[in-house]
Each structure stands twice: as C-alpha cells, then as structure tokens.
C-alpha cells in the first residue's frame, strides 16, 4: 500500500491542517509517512498545497510528481493539479466551490460539497474536516477513530473546544461518499 496524496486549495481553507492531520493519524497506525508542505509566503488568500505519502514500506522520495490521490478545495487547484494525477488515480473535489467537472476519464472522481456540509453544521471553516472524512472513506487505510484520537492529541486548546463539531463534520463527509 502506498498513497501519494496532494492537498490543494486557497490559503485559509485548512489545506495544511488536512495534510498534517492525515500524517499524524497515519503515524498513529504505524504507517510510514512523509508530509511536505508548500512553505514560506503561502498565506491566507494565496494558494496552499502539501504532499502526504502514506506507505507500508519506508518512503523513498518525499516528492510527489504524480499523486494517486488528489484533494482539491477550489477550482484553481483542480485546474493546476488534475493533469498530474496518475492514471486510475482518485480525485476528491470540493463541489461547493468547484462548479465544473474534471475533463479526464481515466480517473475516479468524487465531488463532495464540503463547504455546504460544514455550513449546515454552522461554520464553513470545517469544510476541510468534512473532506478528510470523505478521504478516509475512499482510502480505507486510516480509520475515523484513529483520526479522532489524533485530533485530541494535536489540536490546540482553542480548537479542542470545537472538536466535537469538527468530528461531526468529518463523519458527515465520511458518509457523503458512496463507494
């Protein structure tokens, strides 16, 4: 098993948080993992992306040229990264903000309205958590309960106050995907 995942979106959409949460959770399940963020001046409002490799074997190259899973939170990211997705790879797109479909036919695509899911729960900032839920269902490598445990360990005190509702968003994202 080796998942090469790229997460991409606007700065402020919690793209880096998605990647780090997955990395922590994968580590908790004793997987080999490497997380590599776009760094430096990627601030709120700009574009942000990060790469996460989760593998049974030690990770060789930490650089993902061609991901087998692509998670895009906005349309520019879809435009930018879809060509790089491996043949037969999986696309997860935030259909609340992405109105079009990917042009490629050789990939599996899931369109999940994660902003809408988050807004129903009261805060669109949880869209990233809903997306992590969807990703977990599709990947079937890391469990929801591991991620919940990880959130308890890694969330800042400020975020811990809203952990329940974030977990709720994640569950909704999980169930929003039909395989």
In DSSP notation, 16-60 reads HHHHHHHHHHHHHTT-EEEEEE--SS--TTSEEEEEEEEESSPP-
CB of 58 to another protein, least distance (A): 8
**Which pairing describes strands 69-72 and 90-94: parallel, antiparallel, or unpaired?**
parallel
Per rule CB under 8 A, is residue 7 in the interface with another protein? no
Per rule CB under 8 A, is residue 157 in the interface with another protein? no
Query: Cα-flanking dihedrals φ and ψ of residue 156, to 5°?
Result: -70, 160
CB of 158 to another protein, least distance (A): 18
Which of 133, 146, 152 shows the shortest CA–CA distance to 28?
A: 146
Per rule CB under 8 A, is residue 94 in the interface with another protein? no
Among 1, 56, 63, 160, binds another protein (CB under 8 A): 63
CB of 123 to another protein, least distance (A): 27
Per rule CB under 8 A, is residue 8 in the interface with another protein? no
CA distances (Å), 164 to each of 150, 152, 167, in order? 13, 10, 5
CB of 110 to another protein, least distance (A): 26
Q: Which is nearer to another protein, 124 or 141 (CB)?
A: 141
Which helix or strand (DSSP H or E) is residue 158 part of? helix 157-160
Helix (H, G, I), strand (E, B) or coil at 177: coil
Segment near another protein (CB under 8 A); pick from 34-42, 99-107, 133-141, 159-167: 34-42
Residues near another protein, by CB under 8 A: 20, 23-24, 27, 32-37, 39-40, 59-63, 65-66
């Amino acid at each position: 098993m080796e998942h090469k995942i790229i997460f991409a979106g606007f700065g402020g959409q919690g793209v880096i948080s998605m990647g780090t949460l997955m990395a922590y959770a994968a580590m908790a399940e004793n997987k080999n993992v490497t997380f590599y963020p776009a760094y430096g001046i990627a601030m709120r409002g700009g574009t942000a992306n990060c790469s996460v490799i989760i593998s049974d074997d030690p990770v060789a190259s930490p650089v993902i040229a061609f991901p087998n899973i692509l998670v895009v939170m906005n349309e520019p990211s879809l435009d930018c990264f879809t060509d790089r997705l491996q043949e037969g790879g999986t696309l997860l797109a935030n259909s609340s903000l992405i109105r079009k479909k990917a042009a490629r036919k050789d990939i599996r695509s899931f369109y999940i309205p994660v902003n809408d899911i988050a807004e129903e729960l009261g805060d669109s900032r949880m869209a990233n958590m809903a997306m992590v839920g969807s990703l977990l269902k599709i990947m079937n490598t890391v469990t929801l309960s591991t991620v919940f445990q990880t959130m308890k360990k890694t969330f800042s005190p400020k975020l811990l106050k809203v952990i329940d509702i974030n977990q709720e968003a994640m569950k909704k994202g999980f169930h929003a995907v039909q395989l």
